[in-house]
Each structure stands twice: as structure tokens, then as C-alpha cells.
Amino acid sequence: MSSIARIRLRRDTAANWTSANPTLLAGEMGVETDTRKYKVGDGSTAWTGLSYYIDGVAVRGQISKTTDGNITITTQGVYVTTGLTATLDTDTNYQMVLGTSDAFGLKNDSGATKLFRCYGSIDATDGNNSTLGVKLAKNGTAIDASECRAFTVSGAQEAKLVTSWMVELDDGDEVSLFIANHSGTSDLVLKRARLIAVEVRA
């Protein structure tokens, strides 16, 4: 009769790990029993200084805005940043942070170049029968191939704009959402928006 060897990993709640703040041995794993996240030690860094091990995580960052915001339009058909500040979903900010040059953007903070599938959506209106457009932007430059257009119809109905594109970001690069009014220069009211970055792996 053969016996199967078993190992038991170090484990505790997130609060207890933070409170004790131990230094894990190189290659030693510590599991948070309440969050199911884990860290791997390097032999010299205390628990709170280690990053979570994220190999199994695909979504690297997500930001959103669910309250109204005004977007200034000065030129018809020209794509501009929303000028609004998004909220970073802290449950998904694995190696990405809120943009610094565009507050409605995600910044690669991983220390490496990574390829992302970026998904963006904006619901907006100018109160008229207008065509609005959305594009992803990298470091403040719109990605033309990612353009999506939608019509607002009458009665201040919202145009529902959705875009998706593969974007390679070096460490420190940002991806954001740009919008345009193709029917005039009326300012836009953003009702809600979201931007998600999912890492693409070979």
C-alpha cells in the first residue's frame, strides 16, 4: 500500500498576517484564509512588503465612474479625454494603478512590458440627436482602430459606446478612454463608464 505525502502551507487571516508581519523563507508560501490570496517569500522581505502572487489573475485593473460628469467639447469630431476622475476597483488592481496623466486611465505599474486586452464602455449624451464616438488611448494618443460610434436618438437618450483592443504597455504607460461629439460642439454628460485591462499571455 503506497502512502501519499502531504504538505500543509502556512495560513492565517489577512489581518493576522499583517499584524504578525513575518518574513517568509525564500520560496515559502503564506495563504490568507479569508481572501484566498497568497504571497511567496524571498527570505528577506517582511509580509507587508511582499506583493501578492498573481499568476492566476487575468484582470489586472478596473476603473469606473457611475455618477454623472460633464465633458467639455470644443471641436466637432475631435477625440478628447473625459477630464473626469475614475475610481479604481481595489479588488482588481494587480500591478495597475489609476492613471496619473489621465485620471480616467489605468497605468501599468508592474515593472515590465505587458500585453493587455482593454475593454472600455461609456454611456453619454448631449441631449440631441447626435453621433458620439469612443476610442481607447495610449499615453494620450487615441488608437484609431479602436473607434466605436453610437447615436443618442431624441429626448436626451444615452449613446452606449463599447470598445476593445489589444494594447501593449511598457512599465509606466497608461491606457484611457477618449470621447468625441461627431454632430457638433455641445458638451457631453457622461452617465457611467468603465475601463478594464486583462493581461494577455502566450
pTM over 0.75: no
Domain with CATH 2.60.120.40 in the chain: 59-199
**HSE-CB for 47 with a 13 A CA cutoff:** 19
CATH class given for the domain over 59-199: mainly beta
- Tens of pLDDT along the chain (202 residues) come to 556 766 778 999 989 999 999 999 988 889 888 877 788 889 999 999 887 766 555 778 899 999 999 999 999 999 999 999 999 987 655 788 999 999 999 999 988 999 999 999 999 999 888 999 999 999 999 999 999 999 988 777 899 999 999 999 999 999 999 999 999 999 999 999 999 998 887 5
